[in-house]
Structure 1
Amino acid sequence: MGLTTYIAIYFIVWWVVIFAILPFGVRSQHEDGKVEDGTEPGAPQRPLMLRKVLITSVIAAVLVALLAWTIESGKVTLDMFPMPFDAKLYDLK
C-alpha cells in the first residue's frame, strides 16, 4: 500500500482513539463542587485536551505502524480473507 493509504488509515484510527480517550480523567464542575454561574454543571473542570491529543497521536501512530509492518511483511494479505461474493465460496457458476 502507498503512503497516502497509510495517512488515511492514520486519520481514521486517530479519530477512533480520540473518542475512546476523551472520557478518561474528566471531572465535571458539579463533581468538584465549583459550578461557575452561566455554565453547564456537567462541563469538564479541566479537560486536558493537549495531553489527550498527544496521547492519541502516539497511540494511533503505533497502531498504524504495527498494521503497516504486518501488511508490508506479508504476514497478512488480502487473499487470506474471503470476498463477500466469491464464486468459489458460494458454489456459484
Structure 2
Amino acid sequence: MALTSIIAIYALFWVMTAFLLLPFGVRTADEAGLSKIPGQADSAPAEFHPWRIVGRATVIAAVLCALYIANYIEGWVTVDDVNLFGTPPGYEPRQR
C-alpha cells in the first residue's frame, strides 16, 4: 500500500471519528446552569473544547487506520467473508 493511500485512509478515519465525537460530553447552558445569550440556540454547547476532540480523534483514527492496514496486509476479513448475497454467476475469486 502506498504512503499516499495510507495518509488518505487516515484522513478519512480522522474526519469520521471527529464528527462522531462531537456530540459526546457536550453540556448545554441549561445543563451547566448558565444564562443564555439572546438568540442562542437551546442546543448550543456551554463550553466547547476543540483540542480535546482533536486529540481523541487523532488517537482513535490512528488505531482504526492501523487495524485497517493490518487487515489489508494479513487478509483477516476479505470481500468473500462479507458476501451476503452469494456468488454471482461467472465470478472467479482472485488468487493471491
Which residues of 2 match residues 67-82 of structure 1 at below 5 A? Answer: 67-75=68-76, 80=80
Tell me, yes or no, if the aligned pair for 1:10 and 1:64 is still in contact at 8 Å: yes
- Residue 18 of structure 1 aligns to a residue whose secondary structure is helix
| Aligned residue identity for 1:55 | R
Q: What amino acid maps onto 1:33 in structure 2?
A: G
| 1:85 counterpart residue number | none
- Output the TM-score relative to the length of structure 2: 0.72
1:1-93 aligned within 5 A: 1-40=1-40, 41-75=42-76, 80=80, 89-91=88-90
* In 1, Cα distance between equivalents of 2:37 and 2:56: 32
Unaligned segments of structure 2, at least 5 residues: 92-96
For residues 3-40 of structure 1, give each alpha carbon's deviation from its aligned partner in whole angstroms, at most 9, with x where no partner exists: 10011011111111111111111001122231243451
The total of aligned residue pairs comes to 87
User: For each residue in 1:29-57, what CA deviation from the matched residue of structure 2 results, as whole angstroms up to 9, or x when unmatched?
Assistant: 12223124345143211122111110000
Among the aligned pairs, what percent are the same residue? 37
TM-score normalised to the size of structure 1? 0.74
Which ranges of structure 1 fall in alignment gaps of 5 or more residues?
83-87
Which segment is superposed worse, 7-16 or 33-42? 33-42
